[in-house]
Structure 1
Amino acid sequence: MRMMKSKHRVWAALLLLAPLTATADEPAAKPTAEAPFGLPQRQQWTTSRITGSPEPPQPYTVERVFPELSFENPVELTPAPGSDRLFLLELHGKIYSFPNRDDVEKPDLVVDLHKTLTKAGNFYGLEFHPDFEQNRYCYVCYVIGSNIPDGSHVSRFTVSDTDPPTIDPASEKPIITWPSGGHNGGCLKFGHDGYLYVSTGDGTGPNPPDILKTGQDISDLLSSVLRIDVDQAAEGKGYAIPADNPFVDIEDARPEIWAYGFRNPWKMNFDTRSGRLWMGDVGWELWEMVYHVRRGGNYGWSAVEGPQPIHTSVDRGPSPISPPTVAHPHSESASITGGHVYHGTRLGELSGKYLYGDFETGKMWAVGYDGERVTSQEEIADTTLKLVCFGTDHASEFYVVGYTPGEIYRLIPNPAARSPVEFPHKLSETGLLHSVADHIPAEGVIPYSINAEAWADGATAQRYVAIPGDGTVTTKSSPWVFPKDSVLAKTISLDMQPGSDNGRRRIETQILHYDGSAWQGYSYRWNPEQTDATLVAAEGVDVPLDIQDPTAPGGHRQQTWHFSSRTECMRCHNPWAGNALAFNAPQLNRQHHYEAAADNQLRSFAHVDLLDQDLSEPTDKPVLVNPHDPAADQNLRARSYLHTNCAHCHRMHAGSSVLSKMQYDLELPKTTMLNERPSQGTFSIPTARVIAPGDPYRSVLWYRMSKLGRGRMPHIGSTMVDDAGVELIYDWISQLPATTDSESPATATDNLLAAVNNSDATTDQQAVAVTQLLSTTTGALRALRAVQQSSLDETVRRNIIEQALAHSDSQVRDLFERFLPEEQRVKRLGSIIKPEQILALKGDANRGRMLFEKNASVTCRNCHRIDKTGEMLGPDLRKVAQKKTAAQLLEGMLSPSTKIEPEFATFLIETIKGRVFTGIVVSKTDSEIVLKDASLKETRVPVEQVELMEQQTTSLMPDLLLRDMTAQEVADLLAYFTSLK
């Protein structure tokens, strides 16, 4: 009873924290009607030259075929063997056919299945039997409702041998059923082997992901591609199981399964020549996937989403997870639609390539593939269609089907592809500025300010909105709708001489441009003379800057400025977050100092018809606050900080791989942060939570903000730790009402910290205490905070930093890397180690053998054995060259966590007493689990003491194996390994 009352008090306290009602640091109150407007009148922006794109037009566009035909929500287009007709299935059960002629005037109704199958809801798949000319069979997939055990159906129907053909609904013969839900799959295709392949989804909606935990479960038919023999029938079934299906002999497995681990496999097709099965699988938060599907393949859902781990603790299926053949980030794709390998003659340059597209963006791509790897990949078209499916005819010509409008198209060479690109490549050519050198905006370009700035590595920003002519932003829809060629611009400046009045320098001007159908992001890099800025290439660039900092060694420090790629720009400025992230009422509802008067921006914008209404009136929708305004409420400051820096990804569908939502106006208990176990790893923090109320040391959110390297947050938009932001979130989490009586793991480190800082202790005693303190992530966090608070003796502080920077565990090392000058920090893969340069060197196998056996800086033998040299924690390397090339071996050394063999996966065990162990599973029985860690120490954990056992996404193999080796030494080591056949 006491516990129940305690929980109720905590819940009530959390609800009190939820609403954001404070004002910004500049009062946003409504002025009186007589108050002067900051913008008395609107000057039109007439100098704009920002239109189109700096990229050349795509090589293809679409043109409508069968111009007299239109359909309502088409979902499948396919030919029938022996017929010149194309057949089209609509979502609500109508099937049409029509002659394959451009001048066809109307389609012929084959059947309206919804009239007779009154319980049926949506229809998804239509396929004709390979022997259709003899048996007249076709197959239809439909669902009769959600969350019904047999709600998804595949049935056979008979087609009349008439012109035009019809289907008698009474000819239905049920073939197979499976549970229905939000993700049903429902694509039907016959393979070259004559068997019917059926795609099924995970049977639920988008969130939470894979709630039925079926993705890796082969004991049901969900999340799979099924392969069945519809020409035979086992007892009690409408089909038979092919004897060579991959899981027929596995206990409790559904023998119908051909491959598994899919989320919502919407469309699949066989290459008519090679017989390869291609599929587009609709992703969750980060990725859209294309797969070459193989027998017995495991494609990862929901352990992973494409290349991104999701549920690290989920039990894996019986086969190793295969990566996607192609993965598109959500910055360029949102709902993938599988296509066809093209073998027509009209578009010869696309012959043999897999053509597919995206439902949401209308983009299309072509991929070359040799059976093992992608040989080419290019975007070929950017349409305005909702690409719901693709079709081919008997000549293998390719058709594009739009869901809205419900019309059929084909690809044609783009006439505009040869047109010159006139997009401005200099800031001075954009028409945004009257004087570029003086940074004076052109007439009609209006400065604005916002309530909560994001952390940008210490930089400041000047912002401008530019709407062509007398255009108006429509605010009555969400998100706001902007006129074509609207621009939001931000010039970023950095203090090159901190403390100096004249050390500020413009680094970058970012432009967000609405091209009439989508927003695009561009960066312009300012020249040293500060007279102009040049458009940065699409892939972005890193530029080292020299900062005159008297606190740095020699009075200088290096800071690398990252100019984001255009893909990175759109990962943040995504449609789910509203694209124009800072141009909205919660950010703009504040006073701005104009030349005429200080005025509420929303009031002034409405007065000059920049906005279609005045939104400055107080509403239930709160404003954001300056996170670093000490006069503002701490809860509002923290929520505003998370919203501005994180919520563009951490919201539904916007690109985060976790369920935590960080919008400022979402009630805190609904953010899926409080007391939620992290789905992307705990970093070895006992009883870790995304946010552990009252305990920052168990809060992975705070840990991620405190570190550099992999897993840092925010990972886009900045590269440096925001000390003020880290302190803000620490204080905020600390004051949240605790919801557990368990002792914080940080409490156990307090004594160690006291021992470290004990002036009476000997140097050796202090060193031992530092080692113990840094032996856990929690201890390292406690040490970091003490270092940051300057509560330690300087010698002790220096010793902690030095030991931490030399630590073998990156979870500890990454917390302290900020104390190194940037040029001395770990240069991660792609920054300094160039694989192609190492592979180009000629190695000496004898020298490589001596390195492996004798050199102290080469630690491979600590875990691997060759003959009698080394240990057996990892794979034996005696015959490694039979399985791996030099390039694959080098990749494994540089990035060991990219691909981990299942038998060498690292597991984390957390006991009911909060102890954490990691290592490779040596043995596992009903009573005991034995782990072996990187030091070869074995730990035995009784099964009854295990609170959690979770497979990790990182390898036990260290990630900095090559940091102390020369390129030639690495080449020699590779030569030795590749000789081991």
Structure 2
Amino acid sequence: MLAPWRQSNRLPISATWLLAIVLASPTAAQDSSKNDPPGGPVSRRTLAWTTSRLIGSPEPPPPYRVAVAFTELKFQKPVALTCAPGEKNLFLLEQDGQLHAFAVDREVTRTQIVLDLGKLHTQPISAYGIAFHPHYQRNHYVYLCYALSGVNPRGSRLVRFSTDGAQPPRIDPASAQTILTWVSGGHNGGCLKFGPDGYLYISTGDASGPAPPDVHRAGQDVSNLLSSILRIDVDRRDRDRQYAIPADNPLVAVPGARGEIWSYGYRNPWKMSFDRVAGDLWVGDVGWELWEMIYRVKKGGNYGWSITEGPQPVHPEETPGPTPILPPTIQHPHSEAASITGGFVYRGRRLKELVGAYLYGDFQTGILWGARLSGEEVSWHQELAHTPLQLVAFGEDLAGELYLVDYRGQIFQIEENQQPDRSADFPRRLSQTGLFASTPEQKPAPGVLPYQINSPAWADHAQAQRWLAIPGRDYIATDGAGRWQFPDGSVLVKTIRLEANDSGHERLLETQLLHREEHSWRPYTYVWNDAQTDAELAPTGGLDLPRSDPLAAAGRSTWRVHSRAECLLCHNPWVEARTTVFGIQSASPLAVDAAQWNQLVRVAGQTVSQLARLHAEGWLELGTPAERPPDLPLVNPTDERQSLDRRARSYLHVNCAHCHQFNAGGAANIALSHSVPLANTGTLGIRPSQGTFGITSARIIAPGDPLGSVLFYRISKLGGGRMPRLGSGHVDRAAADMIHDWIAGLAPHPAPRGAPSEVLVEQLAAPSGTARTEAITALTATTRGALALLRWLDHHPEPSLRAQVLTATREHPATEVRDLFERFLPPDQRVKRLGTVVDRGAILRQEANVQRGRDVFFKNPAAACKNCHRIEKQGEILGPDLNQIGKKYSRAQLLDHILEPSKFMEPKYVPYLLETATGQILSGLLDKKTSAEVWLKDARNAIHKVPTEEVELLVRQRKSLMPELLLRDLTAQQVADLVAFLASLK
């Protein structure tokens, strides 16, 4: 039997399927890339699928829905909706600059054009924001924000106009008075709101495109007006301005800072609003690759961009602005939202249950949320409605009633959802779905088709069998760009099974479905019972399946059945933008395209093209060959008959590219799709933006130098920073070897400094115990050396050597070294990672004792708190003094800081990495920096003084000196006591 890491994806396919697919012969498989399936009209399918029971959702309907507010009104790309003091009308601004006025009347049939901004300029403009002066009834002033096309140093403009005061008013274009300009291009922000203080607040973006992120490094640079919310006085004028800067603006006294800034560190603060009762300013900031953020803004607040994107580091080495980085009030991963639109705190009367709640939504998914705060904490947060809208803006009328603006042209309101709850009708067992004629035998129902793919993703030795179900005799259509369009009711099915290493016992674990309904793919998972007779629908949040021997021999004691939200991290909507029609999706298929399906298969004793067969039998419309974009088929990464380059690129495509492409969630600015030329992937010779893991001269891919390549390191380790980060908890040894050899064969860079000596590696084979011990010690002193040791251990599995290495690395002080060897430990001896075993709520609910917590702080060696922190003149002073820490943070915040110390670091305690000209790497707090020397204080409180001329690199790090696993040996009770003690320090 093949070793588990060499197993292919071959699986038996039901013999009852009339034209069963089996893998082609080796010769046929090698020639699959030459196949060019014919096009033309699709045939009528012989067998129809008529047994589907997959209708609706297992979840109850949301409590609210949306309805058109003004049925007769339709606009072109609306971007803002507002009211004016004392006016009976609403005002809607379109992107091209037309400003409409209309009565707040459901029966209104027409609007009046108040102004056409586009006629004021010879070049195209994009309008963003509008605000009427609080004293509009006296001065008739209205302010608009728009941007000229292209990159222009004065292209973003705040302009004041005067109206004639009529009902509805008209604006005299000649009254235009430019108040403020700043650079345009990319993210412009452009929202305008008058605050309860009478000052005008203006949002500005980073003036960058989607990628690369923050090209101007504007987010933390307060010497310009970008990435900020500005606050100005439009009723007064300073000597050289058309406005005045309020004296109490937070950065007025900061040297070099623009006094207009109220808060900063935003990427694209698209919409903001003031709570008309509490006066709070709320803003929605459109994120980059992973997160969407909502902030309740504080004076002088720094919201992190582009050092962070919410909780995710982006440019961690950048110098922060003059105030500490603050966390989001609310954050959404891209599995839930992809382009957040800030809303309003509802103060109307129609929806009594929502009064006082902040309501906001997402442009991409159409989801509407509500949230309430208690102090600084979110006390209630709920999905309110799933809408078909591209939510570009919200607006209020004078009565505080809320409106939702759809970018496609209409205005909506929220109403209670009267739809009956039919969630109980959704199949709770796999046998009820209508997909299988015999569920235990995995025998598909008539009209359900097995299919094969070229390149399966790594799944911890598990294998998968796949089926396609399309209702009736419908088929997959192809648009003009060659993208596949599935009809509603389509289902993609994948059953995952695991075979033990030596017993031959096989177990069905889960069957995953992607079900297309209402133009959206929805993920569901069914978990197989112990008797292997049927599978039950998994809960929304997923679950961990315990595994007993012999299955645990594959290296994991549990099997993770992912939550529906976790499914969407890989099956994200940005994938479908490249493969099928992209609309408002919540999921996308993977491995469902020509690159995966273009292979030769055996059907009824003949070798045929799978794509041609699907076309001929009425499953797939291909179009003509001339209409189809060329797409070289992927290959199985384990197929050594294929070129090393195609194997490596296929592996990266199926395991990495669904996140590492435009907007799909990979924080590194790289594109790993196999169709992207290697030189354009953003990996070759590029310094990593997400950490070097202590590797000297680290690059994402260092051609010719795999030990200096972060890509190779990440797929070789367990723990934090491992890739793939979801769907796998076991290192793919065969893939790691392949990627190593591929990188080694790329055109090399100059020999890296500090590389481990070949002599050291060769000493591992020496019979002398002393020589071997010295070699292990020297190699584990650096990450490069540890990688070299890991490869030797993989290819020379001598038990005594492995035991000696594990002894040296099990408690190694450097996590980047320790994580490489953790996979050799039995599952029950591995680190129980944060997030899977720490129940924050349970710790905070536990009865705690302050005195016991004091003992944990000062006496417990597992916590080691006093080694870095001082309380009551006891302890060291490497980290912050904690004498009054209870005044600064709540118990929940203290626990978060203990468990995830790198999440929020005060600027004074941000560590730096220093690399010398000789390749030495030092890490610690920046104690002193002069023109002559750099002083670093390391974790042992020792000072390292390095002459400036010897400093090759000095960069900020995103990892705190406080270890994230510091409390792994404490009980939940001890942690609760420690938090109580710290909270008492006031």
Share of identical aligned residues, percent?
48
1:472 aligns with 2:478: no
1:350-429 to 2 correspondences below 5 Å: 350-404=354-408, 406-429=409-432
Q: For the Cα contact (< 8 Å) 1:602–1:614, is it kept in 2? A: no
CA distance in 1, matches of 2:828, 2:912: 34
The letter for the 2-side match of 1:85 is N
Displacement of 1:177 in angstroms is 0.5
CA separation of 1:424 and 1:752: change in aligned 2, threshold 3 A: same
1:972 and 1:248, CA in 2 relative to 1: closer, same or farther beyond 3 A? closer
Q: Which residue of structure 1 aligns with residue 791 of structure 2?
A: 785
Contact 1:909–1:947, Cα closer than 8 Å, also in 2: yes
For 1:76, which of 75, 80, 93 is the aligned residue?
80
Q: Distance in 2 between matches of 1:969 and 1:935?
A: 25
Distance 1:378 1:595, change over 3 A: farther
Pairwise mapping of residues 566-645 of structure 1 onto structure 2 (< 5 A)? 566-578=564-576, 579-595=588-604, 597-613=606-622, 620-645=630-655
> Which among 208, 212, 218 is matched to residue 212 of structure 2?
208
> Does 2:462 align with 1:453?
no
Shift of 1:803: 1.5
* Aligned residues of 1:873 and 1:936 also touching (Cα < 8 A): yes
Task: Provide Cα deviations, 1:609-648, integer angstroms capped at 9, x if missing partner.
Answer: 2111267899732010111011110100000000011101
The aligned amino acid for 1:903 is: K
Of 833-842 and 628-637, more deviation after overlay is shown by 833-842
1:926, distance to aligned residue in structure 2 (A): 2.3
TM-superposed deviation, 1:848 = 4.4
The one-letter amino acid paired with 1:653 is N
Which residue of the other structure, out of 514, 517, 522, is the alignment partner of 2:516? 514
Question: Superposition pairs for residues 730-809 of structure 1, below 5 Å?
Answer: 730-738=740-748, 740-743=749-752, 745-748=754-757, 750-762=758-770, 766-790=772-796, 794-809=799-814
> Is the CA contact (8 Å cut-off) linking 2:206 and 2:214 kept in structure 1?
yes
List per-residue Cα deviations over 1:460-516 (Å, max 9, x = no partner). 111001011111212234542110011100001101x32344x11111100011113
Amino acid at match of 2:231: R
State the distance in 2 between where 1:755 and 1:864 align: 42
* Structure 1 residues 479 and 282: CA distance shift in structure 2, 3 A: farther
Give 1:11's aligned residue: none
Q: Which amino acid aligns with 2:530?
A: P
How many angstroms does 1:751 deviate by? 3.7
- Point out where structure 1 has 5 or more consecutive residues left out of the alignment: 1-21
- Supply the AA of the counterpart residue of 2:789: A
Q: Gaps (5+ residues) in structure 2?
A: 1-26, 577-587
Distance in 2 between residues matched to 1:969 and 1:341, nearest whole Å:
40
Looking at structure 2, the residues matched to 62 and 885 of structure 1 have their Cα atoms a distance apart, in angstroms, of: 38
DSSP 3-state at the match of 1:657: coil
Which segment drifts farther, 522-531 or 872-881? 872-881
Alpha carbons of structure 1 residues 967 and 358: separation in structure 2 relative to 1, 3 Å = closer
Question: 1:215 & 1:970 partners in 2: Cα distance?
Answer: 36
SS in 2 for 1:273: coil
Aligned residue in 1 for 2:13: none
User: How far has the Cα of 1:606 moved from its partner?
Assistant: 0.7
Indicate conservation of the 8 Å contact 1:287/1:328, yes or no: yes
Tell me by how many angstroms 1:966 deviates.
3.6
Letter of the structure 1 residue corresponding to residue 693 of structure 2: F
Question: 1:246-325 counterparts in 2 under 5 A?
Answer: 246-325=250-329
User: Does the residue aligned with 2:574 lie in a helix, a strand or coil?
Assistant: helix
Residue in 2 aligned with 1:19?
A: none
Instruction: Check the 8 A contact 1:839/1:886 in 2, yes or no.
Output: yes
CA-based RMSD of the aligned residues comes to 2.3
Asked if residue 729 in structure 1 is aligned to residue 739 in structure 2, the reply is: yes
8 Å contact kept, 1:483–1:516: no
SS of alignment partner, residue 441 of structure 2: coil
Query: SS of 2:50's equivalent?
Result: coil
Code of the residue aligned with 2:331 in structure 1: it is A
The aligned amino acid for 1:430 is T
Cα distance change of structure 1 residues 975 and 335 upon mapping to structure 2, 3 Å threshold: closer
The answer on 1:682 being equivalent to 2:682 is no
Instruction: Find the aligned partners of 1:538 and 1:616 in 2 and give their Cα distance.
Output: 42
Aligned equivalent of 1:18: none
TM-score between the two structures when normalised by the length of structure 2? 0.92
Alignment of 1:948-959 (within 5 A): 948-959=953-964
Return the alpha-carbon distance in structure 2 between the equivalents of residues 443 and 615 of structure 1.
Answer: 29
Q: Using the alignment, how far apart are the partners of 2:874 and 2:132 within structure 1?
A: 61
- Contact 1:39–1:594 (CA<8 Å) still a contact in 2? no
Aligned to 1:486: 490
Q: Equivalent residue of 1:69, what SS? A: coil
| Aligned-partner Cα distance in 2 for 1:32–1:938 | 68
Give how far 1:868 is off.
4.6
Task: Give the secondary-structure state (helix, strand or coil) at the position aligned to 1:547.
Answer: coil
Matched to 2:493, the amino acid is A
Give SS of 1:377's match.
strand
Letter of the structure 1 residue corresponding to residue 541 of structure 2: E
Whole-Å Cα distance in 2 between the matches of residues 784 and 766 of structure 1? 14
Matched residues in 2 for 1:97 and 1:891: separation? Answer: 49
Q: What is the CA-CA distance between 1:979 and the residue it aligns to?
A: 4.4
- Give SS of 1:82's match: coil
Rounded to whole Å, the distance in 2 between the matches of 1:110 and 1:39 is 56
- Aligned partners of 2:482 and 2:281: how far apart in 1? 40
Q: Structure 1's 74 and 285: CA in aligned 2 closer, same or farther, altered over 3 A?
A: same
Alignment: residue pair count = 944
SS of the residue aligned with 1:782? Answer: helix
Please, which of 915, 918, 922 is the counterpart of residue 913 of structure 1? Answer: 918
Q: Match of 2:679?
A: 669
Quote the offset at 1:161 in angstroms: 1.8
SS of 1:122's equivalent in the other structure is: strand
| Partner SS state of residue 931, structure 2 | coil
Equivalent residue letter for 1:798: A
Among 821, 824, 847, the residue aligned to 2:826: 821
Shift of residue 71, structure 1, vs aligned partner: 1.1
SS at match of 1:149: strand
Q: Structure 1-normalised TM-score?
A: 0.93
Instruction: Report the CA distance shift for 1:314/1:478 in structure 2 as closer, same or farther (over 3 A).
Output: farther
SS at match of 2:640: coil
CA displacement at 1:286 relative to structure 2? 1.1
Q: Structure 2: which amino acid aligns with 1:51?
A: I
Deviates more, 1:269-278 or 1:767-776: 767-776
Separation in 1, partners of 2:853, 2:862: 13
Which residue identity does 1:152 align to in structure 2? S
| Cα offsets for 1:274-310 (capped at 9, x unmatched) | 1111111111111111111111111111111111000
Change (3 A) 1:238 1:529: same
Of 442, 446, 459, 2:445 maps to: 442
* 1:151 and 2:149 correspond: no
Name which of 518, 535, 538 aligns with 2:537: 535
Superposition pairs for residues 168-179 of structure 1, below 5 Å?
168-179=172-183
Query: After the TM superposition, which segments of 4 or more aligned residues of structure 1 sit over 6 Å from their partners?
Result: 614-619
For residue 799 of structure 1, report the CA deviation from its aligned partner. 1.1
The amino acid of 1:592's aligned partner reads V
1:454–1:556 Cα change, 3 Å: closer
Match of 1:137 among 112, 136, 141: 141
Q: In the superposition, relative to structure 1, how do residues 23 and 780 fare at CA in structure 2: closer, same or farther (>3 Å)?
A: farther
Does residue 432 of the first structure (1) align with residue 431 of the second (2)? Answer: no
Residues 853, 755 of structure 1: alpha-carbon distance in 2 compared, 3 angstrom cutoff: farther
2:950 corresponding residue in structure 1: 945
Determine if contact 1:28/1:616 at 8 Å carries over to the other structure. no
How far apart are the structure 2 equivalents of 1:371 and 1:870? 33
- 1:201-240 residue pairs with structure 2 within 5 A? 201-240=205-244
